[in-house]
Structure 1
Amino acid sequence: MATDGGFEAFWPAYLRDHARPATRAVHVGGTLAGAAVLLAGVIAGSWWLMLLAPVLGYGCAWGSHLLVERNRPATFRHPLWSLRGDLRMAWLAVTGRLGAELRRHGL
């Protein structure tokens, strides 16, 4: 996975690591669920919900890599870029632009 060119060099490799639609769907679902639980925890002032949010988000993501994609999550190599990639992929999916981004990168 590219590391020298910053996040923009990492992004195409991140997308390749999420080549299967099921992996992307589980990732996006986990990211959105984690964000919702985090927001609920902040609003309610509940520390346990705030702590549950990353467990939920990463649990879904790691499970999809293990069971669907059968590769190693980028989180273990580049944790901050991976989080940024998760958020970017979820945003692109929600806004209907993920397909175009995948095609742009030949996926």
Structure 2
Amino acid sequence: MSRHRYASMQAFYPFYLSQHRHPTCRRLHFIGTSIAAILIVVAVVTGHYGWLLVALLQGYAWAWTGHAFFEHNQPATFTHPLYSFLGDWRMWFETLTGRLRD
């Protein structure tokens, strides 16, 4: 766990990736973030914004399972919530586009 203060997301992201080295953890993050993205679209399309809370909860459930059982570390969310949230989406996008591989 890092208590370091990062000046930018660019400075934080290498640390974020270092906390997600296990391929299964990365896959679980990708699954959770993908489901969250779908639920965000559902919330916007239906106007039922309670789905946003469901998206947030289930997205983190998948990610934290990866940390607990595969990485054996504490999620960066606990010390860097905003950067961690942004890191999830960046890692998801880089995985989706093939820029980040296991």
TM-score of the superposed pair, with normalisation by structure 1 = 0.86
Q: Distance in 2 between matches of 1:53 and 1:30?
A: 9
Q: Deviations over 1:12-36 (max 9, x none)?
A: 1100100000000000110111111
1:84 aligned partner, one-letter code = L
1:81 aligned partner, one-letter code = Y
Q: Distance in 1 between matches of 2:32 and 2:6?
A: 29
What is the CA distance between 1:41 and its match in structure 2? 1.3
2:38 aligned partner, one-letter code = A
Name the one with the larger helix percent. Answer: 1
Q: Distance in 2 between matches of 1:13 and 1:48?
A: 32
Q: Distance in 1 between matches of 2:75 and 2:26?
A: 12
Q: Deviations over 1:14-69 (max 9, x none)?
A: 00100000000000110111111111111011133222010111111111111111
Q: Distance in 1 between matches of 2:83 and 2:19?
A: 13
User: Percent of aligned positions with the same letter in both sequences?
Assistant: 39
- Residue segments in structure 1 that go unaligned for 5+ positions in a row: 103-107
- Residue segments in structure 2 that go unaligned for 5+ positions in a row: none
Structure 2 SS opposite 1:19: coil
Runs of 4+, deviation exceeding 4 Å: none
Query: Which one scores higher on RCO, CA 8 angstroms, separation ≥ 6?
Result: 2
Q: Which position in structure 2 is the counterpart of 1:88?
A: 90
Alignment of 1:62 with 2:43, yes or no, is: no
> Is the CA contact 1:3–1:9 (under 8 Å) kept in the aligned structure 2?
no
| Coordinate RMSD, CA, aligned | 1.4
